Structure 1
Amino acid sequence: MSTFTAEEFKEVDEYDASCPSCSASIQFNPANGTLTCPYCGYEESIPQPELDEDRLAQEIQLDEALETGSFDWGAEKKVVICDACAAESVYDALEVANVCPYCGSNHVMESTAENALAPNGVCPFEITREQANENFQRWIKGKWFAPNEAKRKARADAFTGLYLPYWTFDTKTASRYTARYGKHRQVTDRDGKTRTETDWYSTSGFYQEFIDDHLVRATTRYNESILRSVEPFNTNASRTYSKEYLSGYAAERYSIGLKDGWKQAQQDIHSHIEGQISHQVRMRHNADIVTNIHFSTVHSNVTYKYVMLPLWLSSFRYSGKTYQFMVNGQTGKVGGQSPISAIKVTIAVLVTLMIIAIIYVLGEGNFF
């Protein structure tokens, strides 16, 4: 008998694609792009929009978004009654897909709520679990500072397929700027010694750039540095959202809302534009250094997409410690934590110091 009350939890419907041959749960298969039964091999194509332009996720005008707020994990729960075994499972309100812990059936729930936006795009898994493991083995073997024993013996724990929420933003930017740039020149004094002097100049200008699909994570639950290391994703190829792609995987909806996501995007774009302006000034004036960049940017025709992006999560143990890593489910790129050999680091430092010493001696002309 259930111990949950209506005031504590909200019951929601779940979708579980079932195999018509053996009634088992079928799941999305990255190898062939179909819903596949892991038991009898039955395959079912995912319905696609008739028009080609409708098959890709469409941009939405930012100023037309109705719900822009953020959410907190753990603030609300929901109950899913499994269609296969009738067991009750409790999920966080932000989870939109998972697997029944009792019978293994797929639970794909509503991807939105009354006060939230629905995803309009998804990049399906293209890398299989087996390929993710192969990429991990190549990645750990390529870590120069990792202990040799770890390279030989590291074995990944079970891989978890997960769709994470992201925002993408398109914007036309127009920036007016002022800056100072310097040109170095060599000066020889009376004693024949040379030194570098810099002549400074002021400049101003105008810079324009179209930013396409700038990516912003819509969750704070996972290691940010690892997530950055497995980016980018090809979000321009994201397909129109369909719940079938989530079958067999975990997924969550956004906790960082559209408003906060756009604030983060503006900060990222500001840093990017500053670098581009510095590059433009260097090229135009053949400058050696650029400083004191001040600029203001106007954004126009801002659009967004809310997309679900695929990741494989796993970890491995070495010398009693657990190291987490991720594999980009679209590109196969691996990033994460790995053990470091103190001996190898020491050798690298000593070799570097020797090289610096040799260069110094040669520069002083005292080699012989």
Structure 2
Amino acid sequence: MSDTAVSPPSYQCGGCGARVEYAPGTAVLQCPYCGHRQEIAGAGRAVREHAYTELATLPHKPAASVGAYTFVCPGCGARTESNALAQRCQFCATPLVADATAGELIAPEAVLPFAVDQAGVRTALGRWCRSRWFAPNSLKKVSVAETLKGTYLPHWTFDARTVSDYQGQRGEYYYTTETYTVTVDGKQETRTREVRHTRWYSASGTVRRKFDDVLVPATTTLPQKQLDRLAPWPLTEAVAYHGDYLAGYHALRYDTDPEVGLVEAKNRMAPVIEQDCKQDIGGDEQRVTSVNTTYSAVMYKLMLLPVWIAAYLHAGRSYQILINARTGEITGERPYSAAKITAAVLAALAVVAVLLWAYVRSH
């Protein structure tokens, strides 16, 4: 692994000479001191996608073999080694953004810029804390994050056309009348009821589907399941990548290569295809025993999605949460109230006991 020297652009304010950074929800860089605003050059360009068959021709290396960047701060001259695509200088807080097109990795094609600012985080956090079931009442008072870090997380998106040949079974219901006896007031009574059965028939066919923007996290820094809970993302609002959108924020490089991402994308397509097969089979129940899928017109792109990584303090303990910086959706850790859970369990047991007593009485 070899380090890559990076000379970031100078994000100097044209008004007071301080620094500018991306202003959430806009297409401008703004100075946090004097408020001076600078338009992001080239904002509004169309987002491109690439044919997956072209991947082999690109001069990129596996992510694990690419060394850290060495940032040379344009503000104070400090040198910083980092695997991040963007961050702040640890000495003077100047935004440091690498030239994503100059390295040995695939460059991002799109970015979904931050829209939720720090004030929006406070609002979302307070709403989330107040809505947690079985949480201590004191959690409702939490509205301020103890730590807060705006981070762009890399994701792969894949498009594909699929043709799937399947084998399975179609189940159709039929009913028979069954006679049984019950005891009512010490006397036996004969009653009848309809019993449902399923008759199975072989089924086969072909289904087709066009997938668009199947999203796969391209970082292992955070658990994939946790990132998936931040969905849905308004991907249609993404803009063509420009490093200025990263100014003042942290941005991770991808560590999951596109080949691995495509495998995961196909895993995410599989349940959708199986549901298409079941719909095609029809009947009352369906069984899918085998599916053979052919993929064509596979397209991909690397996209950066905005997340606030935060921690809040409750009862002396810190809890981490993730906030979708476009929608305000939150996922993460939370405390539970043992008293509330116990009360809920006892209430459920009481309901079951009443229903059981009523059933015994009626029979």
TM-score (norm 1): 0.88
1:107-122 mapped onto 2 (5 Å cutoff): 107-112=96-101, 114-122=103-111
Partner of 2:196: 196
Distance 1:22 1:302 in 2: 48
Given the alignment, which residue of 326, 344, 348 partners 1:348?
344
Residue of structure 1 in register with 2:155 after alignment: 166
Structure 1 pair 354–304 and aligned structure 2 pair: CA distance change class (3 A): same
Q: Do the aligned partners of residues 117 and 360 (structure 1) sit closer, same or farther apart at CA in structure 2, a change above 3 Å counting? A: same
Please tell me whether residue 83 in structure 1 is matched to residue 74 in structure 2: yes
| CA distance in structure 1 between the partners assigned to 2:153 and 2:212 by the alignment | 20
Q: Pick from 53, 61, 71: which aligns with 1:63?
A: 53
Cα offset, 1:69, TM superposition: 5.6
Give the residue type in structure 2 aligned to 1:124.
P
Closer, same or farther in 2 for the Cα pair 1:190/1:138, shift >3 Å? closer
Q: Which of 37, 46, 55 is matched with 1:43 structurally?
A: 37
| Residue 314 (structure 2) pairs with residue 314 (structure 1) | no
Q: CA deviation at 1:315?
A: 0.8
Structure 2 Cα separation of the partners of residues 274 and 360 of structure 1: 40
| Contact 1:16–1:108 (CA under 8 A) maintained in structure 2 | no
Q: Which residue of 2 aligns with 1:299?
A: 295
Q: Deviations over 1:287-312 (max 9, x none)?
A: 1x222431111111111111111111
Partner of 2:40, secondary structure, is coil
Pairing of 1:261-340 with structure 2 (within 5 A): 261-281=261-281, 284-285=282-283, 287=284, 289-340=285-336
1:184 matched to 2:173? The reply is yes
Instruction: Assess, with a 3 A threshold, how the Cα gap between structure 1 residues 102 and 203 changes in structure 2: closer, same or farther.
Output: same
Residue aligned with 1:275, SS: helix
Q: 2:290 & 2:207 partners in 1: Cα distance?
A: 12
Equivalences for residues 99-110 of structure 1 within 5 A: 99-110=88-99
Is 1:27 equivalent to 2:21 in the alignment? yes
Unaligned runs of 5+ in 2: 181-190
Tell me what 1:17 maps to: 11
Which residue of the partner structure matches residue 72 of structure 1? Answer: 64
More displaced, 223-232 or 294-303?
Answer: 223-232
User: Match for residue 209 of structure 1?
Assistant: 209
Alignment correspondent of 1:3: none
**Residues matched between the structures, number:** 350
**Fraction of identical pairs, as percent:** 29
> Is the CA contact (8 Å cut-off) linking 2:126 and 2:142 kept in structure 1?
no
Partner residue, 1:152: 141
Aligned CA RMSD, in angstroms, stands at: 2.3
Matches within 5 A, 1:127-146: 127-146=116-135
CA contact (8 A) 1:169 1:265 kept: yes
The residue type paired with residue 366 of structure 1 is: R
- Structure index of larger Rg: 2
Q: Deviation per CA, 1:19-67, whole angstroms, max 9, x where unpaired?
A: 0122111011014331000000100111236xx7xx2312211111234
> Once the two structures are superposed, what CA deviation does each residue of 1:222-258 show, in whole Å capped at 9, x if it has no partner?
1333211111212222111111100010002211111
Contact 1:229 1:336 in 2 (8 A): no
For 1:328, the aligned partner's letter is: N
The equivalent of 1:126 in structure 2 is: 115
Partner deviation per Cα, 1:279-336 (whole Å, 9 max, x = no partner): 443xx32x1x222431111111111111111111101122333211111111111111
Q: How much has 1:367 moved relative to structure 2?
A: 5.9
Given that 2:278 and 2:288 are in contact with CA atoms closer than 8 Å, whether structure 1 keeps it comes out as no
Structure 1: segments with no counterpart, 5+ residues: 1-6
TM-score, normalised with respect to structure 2? 0.89
Moved more, 260-269 or 233-242: 233-242
In 2, the alpha carbon distance for the partners of 1:208 and 1:361 equals: 53
SS in 1 for 2:229: helix
1:349-368 mapped onto 2 (5 Å cutoff): 349-362=345-358, 364=359, 366=361
